[in-house]
Amino acid sequence: MVSTRSSAGRLGGEASPLLVEEAGVSAKAHGSIFGATPRRALAAIAAGAVFVFACVAFVARGGQFGVDDLLKRRFSKTGLVTDLNLANLPDVDFTGKTLLIVLGMSFSGTSALEGLLGTSGVITDLCKSNTWQCENTVLLEDMGFINENVHCDPEDVTAAEFAYAYKDFAHKWWDMSKPVLMDKTPQNLCRPTKIRDAAAKLGVNVKFVVLTRHPFSWTSEKHPFNQGYYMEQMVMARNLLADPSMSTLQVRYEDMAWNMDAVIQSVKAFVPEVSNIDPWRSSLSDDSGAERGLPVGKYFQQKPLEWIGKPLTPDTFRLLCQLNYNSDGECSYFN
């Protein structure tokens, strides 16, 4: 079954031509020749490798480091952190700020959501750090807080480490003249309580925007749907959305395509600092190429979202019902 909607869709609401396929980092663990080497040792090894590379480049260029953008980015970062005392960092005033965490499954459209939110003019992102997809992963690896081979271990980053990282981001990468500080990193999906506790240490309000996507709208050939991985990730999304101690907003990928007005209104209600969002622009346009920086509206105008049925287990249907999907009888599996 294939359905391309140009009017009111299966999920309800008015249709809007609107999103972008997300390119993320797999949260699965991958094999490593280092085996169980501690993450901080791994980070030190990586830092040493970068230093050797830089020295070679230095000699090759006759002692001129600065021309290589990659080297500039690597040497502008914090490096291995062994002392988590926040007083070691420059003072940051978080008064009146909101930490906005955008998360979801890798490859599901979180970059498109980030680019959309950024058009508000009151939200700052991490794109100035020049990391891949403007995410925190490389920054945390550089500090030695996570193992680069395991991107979604909930025990990998502590609340103290997140607090240190966010204070570091505040004086390096975020535009602190804006009231909302955004971190869009899919892998944060497995660490929300650590982020909540880190925000408490910093005295800053924190909110979570959770992007969900139905398997039937997952049509990517480059990143094919994997039901087991989907279940693993969306169980974490369900648990986060159901946690009364968290301030959360669910945004459905499909609504970004077919009911954008509802998405905009829900974001405005959730983040009062936001008064305007423009789906025909993207805040990522100057920081990326190809489809990733394409405005959501233009993307779906060129490439309408399809709805293609696929075999799912009863457990997947039940999980989808818990995530507020019931267009294809998902909730009937509870009967």
CB 113, CB 209: distance < 8 Å: yes
Minimal CA–CA distance to 193: which of 101, 123, 125?
Answer: 101
Q: Which residue has the tokens 């950024």?
A: 118
Which of left, alpha, beta for 62 (phi over 0: left; psi -120 to 50: alpha)? Answer: left
The values of phi and psi at residue 98, to 5°, are -125, 130
Contact in structure between 294 and 25 (CB atoms under 8 Å)? no
Q: Write the CA distances from 322 to 229, 309, 318, integer angstroms.
A: 17, 19, 6
Question: Is-contact 206 247, C-beta < 8 A?
Answer: yes
Higher-confidence position of 50 and 202: 202
Query: Is beta strand 205-212 parallel, antiparallel or unpaired with respect to 248-252?
Result: parallel
**CA pair distance 221, 214, nearest whole angstrom:** 16
Percent of the chain with pLDDT over 90: 65
Give the span between the Cα atoms of 11 and 324, in whole angstroms. 10
Tell me which residue has tokens 């009364």.
Answer: 244
> What pLDDT does 50 receive?
43
pLDDT at 152: 79
Q: Which among 233, 238, 259, 258 is positioned nearest to 248, based on CA atoms?
A: 238
Q: How far apart are CA 103 and CA 64, in angstroms?
A: 40
Q: How far apart are alpha carbons 171 and 311 in whole angstroms?
A: 48
Q: Looking at residue 327, what is its pLDDT?
A: 94
For residues 158 and 201, give the distance between their C-alpha atoms in angstroms, rounded to a whole number: 12
Phi/psi of residue 176, nearest 5 degrees:
-75, 0
* Long-range contacts from 326-331, C-beta under 8 angstroms, 24+ separation: 327/10, 327/11, 327/214, 328/10, 328/216
pLDDT in tens, 162-207: 999 999 999 999 999 999 999 999 989 999 999 999 999 999 999 9
pLDDT value of residue 304 = 97
**Mean local confidence (pLDDT), 271-284:** 95
By mean pLDDT, which of 27-31, 139-143, 255-259, 273-277 is the weakest?
A: 27-31
- Whether 71 has a pLDDT exceeding 50, the answer reads no
Question: Could you give all domains of the chain from N- to C-terminal order, each with its CATH number?
Answer: 2-28+40-46+96-334 (3.40.50)
Tokens of 251: 């945004």
Q: Work out the average pLDDT over 83-87.
A: 96
Task: Please enumerate in sequence order all residues whose Cβ is within 8 A of that of 276, keeping only pairs 6 or more positions apart, or say none.
Answer: 119, 120, 121
Nearest to 98 by CA among 203, 14, 15: 203
Cβ atoms 18, 297 nearer than 8 A: yes
Q: Residue 31 CB: number of other CB atoms within 10 A? A: 7
Give residue-wise pLDDT tens across range 115-158. 999 999 999 999 999 887 799 999 999 999 988 776 678 788 99
Rounded Cα distance between 150 and 2, Å, is 36
Give the pLDDT confidence score for residue 326 in this predicted structure.
97
User: CA triplet 299, 251, 164: central angle to 5 degrees?
Assistant: 105
> Residue 4, SS3?
strand
Is 255 buried (19+), middle (13-18) or exposed (0-12) by CB count in 10 A? buried
